[in-house]
Amino acid sequence: MDYNAVKPAGSYVPPERTRLLPGSRFYENRERTLKYLRELDCDRMLYNFRAAFGEDTLGAEPLGGWEEPTGLLRGHSTGHFISALSLAAAATGEDIFYEKLAYTVGELRRLQLKSGGDPAAFVTACASDDASQEKWSKNPAEWGEGYVSAYPPDQFALLERLTKYNKIWAPYYTLHKIAAGMLECFTRTGSAEALAAAKDIGGWIHARLGAVSPERRGEMWDLYIAGEFGGMNEVMAKLYALTGEEKFIETARMFDNENVFPGLARGEDTVQNRHANQHIPQMIGAHHEYRATGRDYYRRVAENFFSVVTRGHMYAIGGVGQAESLRDAYALAANIKDDTNCETCAAYNLMRLARDLYALDPERTEYMEYYERALINQILASQCEDEAPGRTSGVTYMLPIGPGAEREYSDDYNSFTCCHGTGMENHVKYLDASFFVTEASLYINQYVPAAMAGDAVSVVLESDFPLGSVRISLNFHRNFTARLRIPAWCENPFGLPREGGYAVLRGRAGERAELKADFDYTIRWEKTPDRLDGAEVAALMYGPFVMVTENPSKDWLTIDSDLSAYVPINGEAALTDGLYKFVPMYEAKGPYHAYFKLK
């Protein structure tokens, strides 16, 4: 079946045609991440892979955190590293990123070609109650053709025996990060070596999982964390798109999570009290299975999941969950804790899902509304603006929202986590959803200061971010329509006709248009559905921003519910009620409060 059974309405303008303009926190964050990617040692990122294959580690030091040499998730960050290098190469054109990509991908491909044998024939010497790494295989010749990871395939065999988390740790998740990195590399740079590596990983999985019964696979995917597989169904659907090989769409279906998909297709919340980021990437995969097959079931799974989560589980910053899990729907205030809400990876993947869903119907502006919310209030705030020795681009694991919360940041080499991995990607793709093009229109969706070179129209978007003044220059190269998203938190600021969620400008070839808009930053409460100790609980919103006040108290602050008490501070994106100063989430440096009890 043709992968393009369902085609998107258009395409996002790729990074090589966009440019982030200097002068904003977006630009500063990106520069820190680019600096980190230039400095990050490829041999250290390859240490565990070379060790697994019995090779010389070339004197490199091992990594720390979840990447330490006995860590059960080791290797996943190298997949993120490849993805981030690919995005950086496309966005900047710098040789160093292409060189590091070629070296890292080339070494992994070389190791992959050492794996031999039938993937389905591999048997571990371990037992579920004795998964000692000392018993793991040391012979790549028996691991199966196409296999590459930072450990031998014993964890996969143990997963098939339903071994639980702590004995093993999400082997398909790790393999997904590597395969996704290879596909990102191919997409951004055209690397045939990266595509070959991804295809061979897909072939290994097809052979291995194909020997496992559907019933056992369902039990595997229901295991907490151990059965986490990232977005492996997305990778397989994309491989099918690129190759037309049926085995890849067959493999994608092997990851259909029958524990949650059918209920979601009916509009039920089957993900509450489940691990948040174990399931969000699965929905991105369901979307791509819809694209591949045209089967409406997959569309309903992905769209209903997004609706269920953003209505019943989302906090004001766009993040979800507490201690990595979605809790009872609509019980948000009850689950606000000081430092264990809003895993950064979860927002990263929800934004990817929103971006994918929007591409099918660009009139569905709620997807771009979510993207803006999470981009400004969680992702932008997830990087530390202060460098320190050993910390070039520190990022958050959780972005806490509880009373007296204080952000903690990773360092360069010793605190690798899943969110450190996505953190390498987040800050080099701020323009990932800014510009969307169809046959007739350019959609401008995010007001991040940027320039865009298009075939039909080129754009320079300047702003006084975080203030509300925006200036947009458009050069029309042919007759075309520009559609500028009107944020839900303000009225139409452009003085242009409105169609749906957009202000519309129809330009003619050779015309130049200059637009200026002053967004009205309205002040409002965003209340949780539930109360706490009988009191309403809310975040203070100012235009697109969640406003926080710096205060070390671990007790809830009770503040005035009368919005007229909150006055903008002249020349700043800040508010005051005479007692506290409120600033956007990303500006808080010390302990802060993001939610309040209202009196």
Q: What is the mean pLDDT of residues 284-293?
A: 97
User: What's the burial of 377, exposed, middle or buried (CB within 10 Å: 0-12/13-18/19+)?
Assistant: buried
Residue 1 has what pLDDT? 39
Class of domain 435-465+469-518: mainly beta
Q: Is the pLDDT of residue 499 over 80?
A: yes
Residue 46 has what pLDDT? 98
Residue type, 197: A
Mean pLDDT for the chain overall: 97
Q: Crossing angle of helices 76-92/25-39, nearest 10°?
A: 120
pLDDT in tens, 96-117: 999 999 999 999 999 999 999 9
Residue 54 has what pLDDT? 98
Residue 3 has what pLDDT? 58
pLDDT in tens, 525-581: 999 999 999 999 999 999 999 999 999 999 999 999 999 999 999 999 999 999 999
pLDDT in tens, 299-312: 999 999 999 999 99
pLDDT in tens, 213-233: 999 999 999 999 999 999 999
Q: What is the mean pLDDT of residues 283-297?
A: 97
C-alpha distances in angstroms, 502 versus 6, 225, 487, 496, 516?
25, 41, 9, 9, 15
CATH 2.60.40 range(s) for the chain read: 435-465+469-518
Q: Is the pLDDT of residue 2 over 60?
A: no
pLDDT in tens, 453-478: 999 999 999 999 999 999 999 999 99
Question: What pLDDT band is residue 5 in, cutting at 50, 70 and 90?
Answer: confident
C-alpha distances in angstroms, 153 versus 69, 204, 226, 451, 522?
16, 11, 14, 46, 55
pLDDT in tens, 478-498: 999 999 999 999 999 999 999
Give the Cα separation of 236 and 250 in Å (integer).
Answer: 8
Largest CA distance in the chain: 72
Nearest CA-CA partner of 550 in 521, 579, 573: 579
Q: Is the pLDDT of residue 444 over 80?
A: yes
Q: Is the pLDDT of residue 4 over 70?
A: no
Q: Is the pLDDT of residue 203 over 60?
A: yes
DSSP-derived 3-state class of residue 576: strand
Q: Is the pLDDT of residue 145 over 50?
A: yes
Can you point out the beta strands (E) in 375-511? 435-437, 441-444, 450-452, 457-463, 469-476, 480-485, 498-499, 502-507
Cis peptide before 552 (omega within 30 of 0): no
CA angle 192, 194, 195 (to 5 degrees): 65
Q: What is the mean pLDDT of residues 131-146?
A: 97
Tell me how far the alpha carbon of residue 292 is from its chain's centroid: 22
Question: What pLDDT band is residue 338 in, cutting at 50, 70 and 90?
Answer: confident
Give the Cα separation of 575 and 467 in Å (integer).
Answer: 12
Residue 158 has what pLDDT? 98
Share of the chain above pLDDT 90, in %: 99
